[in-house]
Structure 1
C-alpha cells in the first residue's frame, strides 16, 4: 500500500514581495508557472489519487492525497518538481509506503522549504502499528 497526503504553497520566489511591481504582472507570471504544475499534476493524479491546484486569495496551492496498491515514485517526484519550478514554495508531503524496507510501518515526511526538499522520519503517526492500527492477530 502507498498512502500519501500533502500540500504546497506555490511561490515563484522566497524574497519579500516587490510592492512597486505591478500586481497584475505578478499574478500573470504566477498563473503561467502554475499552469505547468497543473499539467504535471493531471498526469500524476489518476483514479487512485487527488491532485488539486487552485488559487485562494491570490495565492496558489497544490493539494495531493491518495491510496495506491504499490509505490508510485511520480508522487514525490511531482512534489520535488514543484520546488524546482517555483523555488519560493513550501509544504509537506506525508508518505506511508509498505514497500519501503526502512519505513514499512511508518510515515516519512517530505519537507519543502524555499523549494528544497528534505526527507524525515515521522514522529506523529508512526509507527502505524500500534499508533494507528491494532496488531493483526489473524
Structure 2
C-alpha cells in the first residue's frame, strides 16, 4: 500500500508580491492534469493564491508513487517560492515500512524527513496483529 496526502501553496518566488513575477500556471496545470489519473488532486485559487491538494492510496508505489514525489520537485522548479508538505506511507519500503515519511517543499527544494506524529504506525495508528 502507498498512501499519501499533501498540499502546496503556489508562489512564483519567495519574494513574490501581488503575482509579480507571474505564476507559470499553465505549466503547473499540465503537471496536475498528468498526475490526476489515480489520485485526489486539484489546483484551486483561494483569496488570490493558488493551492494544490492531493491524496491517494494505490495498492503499490509503482510509477505513480514516484510521480507524486516528482510533482513536488517539478512545482519547486516552476515556482520556487512555493511551499508544502507531502505525507507518505509505503508499507513495502524496507527501511520505513512502519512509518510515514514527510517530503517538504521549501524554496524550490524537496527534502525528506522522519515523521513523529503518526509513526510508528504500530502502535500509534494500528494494533499489532495478534493472530
- Taking structure 1 as the reference length, the TM-score comes to 0.86
Which position in structure 2 is the counterpart of 1:63? 53
Q: Aligned partners of 1:45, 1:129: CA distance in 2, in Å?
A: 31
Describe how 1:1-138 pairs up with structure 2 within 5 A.
Answer: 1-15=1-15, 17=17, 26=19, 29-30=22-23, 33-47=24-38, 49-71=39-61, 72-138=65-131
Runs of 4+ in 1 over 6 A off after TM superposition: none
Which position in structure 2 is the counterpart of 1:20? none
- The answer to whether the Cα contact below 8 Å between 2:5 and 2:86 also exists between their aligned partners in 1 is yes
Q: For structure 2, which runs of at least 5 residues remain unmatched after alignment?
A: none
- Taking structure 2 as the reference length, the TM-score comes to 0.91
Aligned length: 128
Q: What is the CA RMSD across the aligned residues, in angstroms?
A: 1.6
Cα drift, residue 27 of structure 1? 7.3
Q: For structure 1, which runs of at least 5 residues remain unmatched after alignment?
A: 18-22
